[in-house]
Amino acid sequence: MLLPIAIDLSNGTPYAVYFPSLYGCNAVGDSIETAIINAIEAAEEHIEILLEDGDSLPHPINIHDLMQLQEYQQCVWKLIQINA
């Protein structure tokens, strides 16, 4: 599963990672590379908990629509591969 993440560059390090399709999931990293690694781990754990609780997996979100939102204007985007 490909999942869009937004990496906030506005406050410098540590970089916060936002998951628009995974409410309540968060990650940070002291570098962009570390933030991405931590984001993958956090998303996989979050999805594992969703599945254990019988909740549904996130629906695909159009990353181009997300990029237009004001709250993500200081972010860079990445699609991460999640094993779910």
In this structure, the chain runs to a length of 84
In degrees and rounded to multiples of 5, residue 15 shows phi and psi of: -80, 125
pLDDT tens, 27-63? 999 999 999 999 999 999 999 999 999 888 877 778 8
State yes or no: pLDDT of 73 exceeds 70.
yes
Q: Which sequence spans correspond to the domains of the chain? A: 2-81
Which pTM was predicted? 0.88
Task: Give the mean model confidence (pLDDT) for residues 4-29.
Answer: 93
> Can you give the pLDDT at residue 62?
82
d(CA 20, CA 53): 20
Phi-psi region of 54 (alpha: psi -120 to 50; beta: other; left: phi over 0): left
What are 8's strand-pairing partners? 16, 75
Domain 2-81, what architecture? 2-Layer Sandwich (3.30)
Confidence band for 11, pLDDT divided at 50, 70 and 90: confident
As a whole-number percent, the residues of the chain with pLDDT over 70 amount to 99
